[in-house]
A and B are shown apart, each in its own frame.
Chain A
């Protein structure tokens, strides 16, 4: 035994040779050079396309199709991208699906925590509502929360690759619609569309609701019809879309969510008049 206690109990170099440190990183005397900076999301992988929403006199209607694409591959065809939060708020997700799942889990735990303090979540009468100390989170509250999550993650250079529409009713039970995206940018408008919808659907929706005043005059039926028409246009033109979609209407009576709607009255008559792509000459 020598007087280097750190060597006691170790295999002797003169018999077994010195310790083979090659598997260790360079900082520990090894040869491994897998030292790369921590990397974060740099591109979305499985993606959902547009989300559309439109305010009307007493509420909001929102829609998104049920497709999750892997690049140009239509990978999952039963993905529901509208997530109801409570009876007056729904979130629509465009962009990366795994980040959507993360946010959905986040919202679920937020909802559980919100209900610790208000056990009567579905207060049936005013009496019951009065028992609840904490009022129900509004769509506006939810949007502020999500916008801060998105902005924090972009500031950490670890973005959640989504474009969100948050819609429902605000704390005064008025229609509310706003968006947040991977950069933390937020804005609000009478009609909103993410992704391809910003180009194809938004102009059509603005024709129905050019300003806030117009939404006050808009009926629920007209709004739903306009949204469905836009979903059809998107299916005609957006190669990453499909003909099955989810649509939700949020108003005073709560959330009415339908998750397997089909596009109706499609007309592809316009298609044979389209010429000039690729090798087509006649």
Chain B
């Protein structure tokens, strides 16, 4: 926000006599816009899917530069559902990056999911919602929503479903994904702990004999603890992450929300 007031004054402003005032703008091509329409509001999000559940999580800090805007600015949103609080929703969207775009994206997806129910008389499936989200993002391919989105829910078979996106709509269903400021800190941890990368069966032999451990869906308690560990670690090393951890756990019972304080430094 400080940048608001750091601009220099216009050179053609009052104060010159008419004789010495610049009379002509040099027409060396079009003038450049000085306005940059994006900013980064920091923070990190993370999603992990299990056999019967999906967990989405995000810290609640909002930053601009070295300033903390707010210690509680949620990045997780219930999509669909009823009333102003979207009660009864079964899909959760997390967005991290430019918060204003994130908000606009959430609003659009939420409206579309609700319209789907009004028009078809049934709830949208997660995979349909995921495809829709991709289209919304790609629709602004040449003026993108500057966000990394993760969408979570349960698929038609009741299994945890997790979709991750890039800002222009490329997407993929995954077991787990970290996004945002501390994604480079969290993702390798997840690779190791969830997808068991570089983990070998200790009973197997040495060298070429080593056998990789095979990843399996983790139980809910384990995943919740992984998420908490991931964030407490990220807070230690990244200044834009902290204040609070918001988690949304989607099961067949609905969406359960939890809040855990994080370090505020």
Interface residues of A (CB under 8 A from B): 33, 36-37, 39-45, 47, 49, 70-71, 94-95, 147, 151, 154-155, 157, 159, 161, 163, 179, 181-189, 194-196, 198-199, 202, 211-212, 240
Given contacts A33-B27, A154-B35, 6 further A-B contacts (CB under 8 A): A42-B34, A47-B5, A95-B4, A154-B100, A188-B72, A198-B2
| A157 pairs with B35, CB closer than 8 A | yes
Chain B proximity of A19: nearest CB distance (Å): 25
**Binary per-residue interface labels of chain B (28-46) against chain A in the complex, 1 for a CB within 8 Å, 0 otherwise:** 0011011101110100000
B128 in the interface, Cβ–Cβ < 8 Å? no
B152-207 contacts to A (CB < 8 Å)? none
Complex CA gap A194/B1 in Å reads: 7
Q: How far is the CB of B98 from chain A (nearest CB, A)?
A: 8
Provide the bound-state CA to CA distance between A154 and B72, in Å. 24
Whether the Cβ atoms of B5 and A181 lie closer than 8 Å is: no
Q: Which of B4, B31, B70 contacts A94 (CB 8 A)?
A: B4
A37: chain B residues within 8 A (beta carbon)? 30-31
B9 within 8 A of partner (CB): yes
Q: Are B33 and A39 in contact (CB-based, < 8 A)?
A: yes
Complex A-B: 25 CB contacts under 8 Å: A33-B27, A37-B30, A41-B35, A42-B34, A44-B5, A45-B10, A94-B4, A95-B4, A151-B104, A154-B37, A163-B4, A183-B38, A183-B98, A185-B64, A185-B98, A187-B62, A187-B70, A189-B69, A194-B1, A195-B4, A196-B2, A198-B1, A202-B67, A211-B71, A240-B5
A185 touching B5 in the complex, CB below 8 Å, given contacts A151-B104, A159-B35? no
Q: How far is the CA of A194 from the CA of B143 in the complex (A)?
A: 27
Interface string of B96-126 (1 = CB under 8 A from A): 0011100110000000000000000000000
Does B7 sit at the interface, judged by CB under 8 A?
yes
The residue that A183 contacts in the complex, of B5, B27, B37, with Cβ under 8 A, is B37
Q: How far is the CB of A146 from chain B (nearest CB, A)?
A: 13
Given contacts A183-B100, A184-B100, A187-B69, are A161 and B4 in contact (CB under 8 A)? Answer: yes
Cα–Cα, bound, A182→B34 (Å): 13
A157→B4 contact, CB < 8 A: no
Are A187 and B73 within 8 A (Cβ)? yes
Taken together as a complex, chains A and B put the C-alpha atoms of A280 and B195 apart, in Å, by 63
Complex alpha-carbon distance, A154 and B34, angstroms: 12
Which chain B positions have C-beta within 8 A of A43? 7, 10, 34
Which residues of A have CB within 8 Å of B39? Answer: 183, 185
Contact B41 A185, beta carbon cutoff 8 Å = yes
Tell whether, in the assembled complex, residue B67 and residue A198 are in contact, meaning their CB atoms are under 8 Å apart: yes
B7 / chain A contacts, CB cutoff of 8 Å: 43-44
Q: B213 CB to closest chain A CB, in angstroms? A: 43
A157 with B5: CB separation less than 8 A: no
Query: Are A185 and B99 closer than 8 Å at their CB atoms?
Result: yes
Instruction: Indicate whether A49 sits within 8 Å of B35 (C-beta atoms), given known contacts A183-B100, A189-B69.
Output: no
Closest chain-A Cβ to B181's Cβ sits at a distance in Å of: 16
Closest 9 interchain pairs by CB? A184-B100, A71-B9, A189-B70, A42-B34, A187-B70, A43-B7, A185-B100, A187-B69, A187-B73
